[in-house]
Amino acid sequence: MVDAPAFAVVGHPNKGKSSVVATLAQNDAIAIALEPGTTRARQAYPMSVDGEVLYTLVDTPGFQRPRRVLAWLEAHSLSATDHPDTVRAFVQQHRGDGRFTDECELLTPLIEGAGIIYVVDGSVPYSPEHEAEMTILRWTGRPSLALINSIGPDDHSDAWQVALGQFFQVVRRFDAVRAPFEQHLGLLRAFGQLEPGWEAPLAKATDFLASQRSHRQRASARLIADALMDLMSHQETRILTRGQAGDTPDDTLAVQLRDAWYRHQRQREQRLRTEVEHLYQHRHLKRQEAELSWHLEHDLFSEDSRRAWAVNRRYLATAGFGAGAVSGAGIDALTLGGSLGTGALVGGVIGAAGSYFYGDRLRLPALAIGALKNGLKTARLGPVQDSQFGYIVLGRAVDHWWQVSHRNHAGRDLLDLAPTDQHWLEGLDRTSRRALQRALDRGRKRQTMDDRQRAALADAVESAMVVYGEWRLNR
């Protein structure tokens, strides 16, 4: 059995090595800082599937004294044939020597058989210091790939491309924070071509990662669909005894129920966000998101959220007609078709009219307090009766999913979940529109859904996710 390939990510201090590791290992827990020397010891991050390691990334310290190391190597080498052995001898002799701690840490995985990912900052000029680093790496004889990861505003990438091409088998430009997912797979495929024994495990890894991305999208659609129904159908209930009813004025009860209802809805949305983030192995976004100074206009129930994510009346009318027509078809079934489609037509018109006339404002649930009966009094708030609330939930959830799914694990900036300024759902197909509207109607009526209906809703949500992704990429 061929051992899984390992890649040591090496280079100058503070040039994005840890960012590259975080992105390729899908691990946002890796420390990334602006000051040099954040990484002081090598650390391995395996990529595993069902307990099988497909490849390992090794984060390493940066070169500190490359020209002194190269001078030692040149003084102890007789010919090019002994270069790898000379590098090994340097590590063995200087292990524990404080002057070369970082060099020994970064060279150790290479003499143990790891491939090289050399990371440079394309925003700084090429220098003799870098040439010494690259010469040392070439002496190891290991398969090598160089990445130009520009950090600053200046661009010296063209000069770097020429210089790196003289030392490395493959040279790529790669923004560890913003590179699209396809570039991750491209790097793995490129490495598979450098060493015959690596081609099969890396092909397996790329196939798995592509499949995993598709499964995560589908799983996100199910999570959003479940949350959407929970939020639409939620009801707060209080049952009071005769004494409690007498001691609790209706307006006080209304405030208590409304506060509880709002709190549940906001917490349910936050739970959905956490579930999606963890699905994509972003486990530190929740803390970062909490640090963001949220304003009332970005709240689930704000006017800005309604303006940004609610659909227009024309959309509601068409979706409402489709959903209403499906319901009205039951009349035709009961009359064995004798109504000649009248039931579907009436149901569609009623659904469209209801959606149209209530499309410009968000109507939150009203309080219902029953009469005292058998010594008990029941008060209820919810479910929400406005489909627009469902579309607001959907829009916010899909936007959050898109940003999380396209976020590299090297990203440390706060997630920007401010509302958009355009409606995006117009591109959704008619079948998905109807499925969404029917689900929202069931939610406000607190009707249960069977497995087939839940699957149809998840399909519709996933279609909405695809439409939103296309809209974002074409903005």
Confidence check: pLDDT of 232 > 70: yes
Under 8 Å between Cβ of 203 and 50: no
Choose between 307 and 392: higher pLDDT.
392
Confidence check: pLDDT of 306 > 80: no
- Determine the pLDDT at residue 427: 86
Q: Using the 8-state DSSP alphabet, how is residue 61 labeled?
A: P
Q: Using the 8-state DSSP alphabet, how is residue 144 labeled?
A: E
Choose between 410 and 273: higher pLDDT.
273
Sign of CA dihedral 426, 460, 206, 28: positive
Choose between 421 and 14: higher pLDDT.
14
Q: Which two tokens stand for residue 441?
A: 């109607």
Close Cβ partners of 26 (under 8 Å, ≥ 6 residues apart): 47, 281, 409
Of the candidate ranges 6-15, 155-164, 319-328, the one whose mean pLDDT is the lowest: 319-328
Backbone angles phi, psi at 115, to 5 degrees: -80, 170
Sign of CA dihedral 215, 218, 224, 230: negative
pLDDT in tens, 21-34: 888 888 887 766 54
- Determine the pLDDT at residue 248: 65
pLDDT in tens, 169-203: 899 999 988 889 999 999 999 999 889 899 998 99
- Determine the pLDDT at residue 475: 74
- Determine the pLDDT at residue 366: 77
- Determine the pLDDT at residue 82: 97
For range 31-56, the mean pLDDT: 75
Mean model confidence pLDDT for the chain: 82
pLDDT band at 268 (very low <50, low <70, confident <90, very high): very high
Backbone angles phi, psi at 170, to 5 degrees: -135, 135
Confidence check: pLDDT of 1 > 50: no
pLDDT band at 449 (very low <50, low <70, confident <90, very high): very high
Close Cβ partners of 399 (under 8 Å, ≥ 6 residues apart): 309, 417, 420, 468
- Determine the pLDDT at residue 2: 54
Cis peptide before 383 (omega within 30 of 0): yes
- Determine the pLDDT at residue 244: 62
- Determine the pLDDT at residue 177: 86
- Determine the pLDDT at residue 343: 36
Residue matched to tokens 């650390």? 43
Of the candidate ranges 257-261, 273-277, 340-344, 431-435, the one whose mean pLDDT is the lowest: 340-344
- Determine the pLDDT at residue 10: 95
pLDDT band at 345 (very low <50, low <70, confident <90, very high): very low
Euclidean distance between CA atoms 96 and 117, whole angstroms: 25
Of the candidate ranges 50-64, 74-88, 198-212, 285-299, the one whose mean pLDDT is the lowest: 285-299
Q: How far is CA 209 from the centre of its chain?
A: 14
- Determine the pLDDT at residue 308: 73
Euclidean distance between CA atoms 103 and 92, whole angstroms: 12
Residues β-bridged to residue 45? 57
Choose between 169 and 300: higher pLDDT.
169
Under 8 Å between Cβ of 399 and 417: yes
Euclidean distance between CA atoms 218 and 427, whole angstroms: 19
Of the candidate ranges 132-141, 218-227, 309-318, 437-446, the one whose mean pLDDT is the lowest: 309-318
In the chain, the domains with their CATH numbers are 6-194 (3.40.50.300), 213-312+359-473 (no CATH)
Which of 61, 64, 59 has the alpha carbon at shortest distance from 20?
59
Confidence check: pLDDT of 7 > 80: yes
Residue matched to tokens 């990912």? 117
Confidence check: pLDDT of 326 > 60: no
Confidence check: pLDDT of 120 > 80: yes
User: Most confidently modeled of 53-62, 69-78, 377-386?
Assistant: 69-78
Residue matched to tokens 């991305």? 213
Confidence check: pLDDT of 283 > 90: no
- Determine the pLDDT at residue 355: 41
The gap between the terminal CA atoms of the chain, to the nearest Å, is 48
Under 8 Å between Cβ of 362 and 311: no
Confidence check: pLDDT of 59 > 70: yes
Euclidean distance between CA atoms 160 and 463, whole angstroms: 43
Under 8 Å between Cβ of 61 and 81: no
Under 8 Å between Cβ of 90 and 117: no
- Determine the pLDDT at residue 255: 82
Euclidean distance between CA atoms 443 and 127, whole angstroms: 64
- β-pairing verdict for 376-381 and 236-241: antiparallel
- Determine the pLDDT at residue 410: 79
Euclidean distance between CA atoms 30 and 19, whole angstroms: 8
Of the candidate ranges 46-50, 168-172, 440-444, 448-452, the one whose mean pLDDT is the lowest: 46-50
- Determine the pLDDT at residue 358: 44
Choose between 336 and 381: higher pLDDT.
381
Quick count: other Cβ atoms within 10 Å of Cβ 9? 28
Confidence check: pLDDT of 377 > 90: no
Of the candidate ranges 5-9, 322-326, 343-347, the one whose mean pLDDT is the lowest: 343-347
Confidence check: pLDDT of 290 > 90: no
pLDDT band at 234 (very low <50, low <70, confident <90, very high): very high
Confidence check: pLDDT of 260 > 60: yes
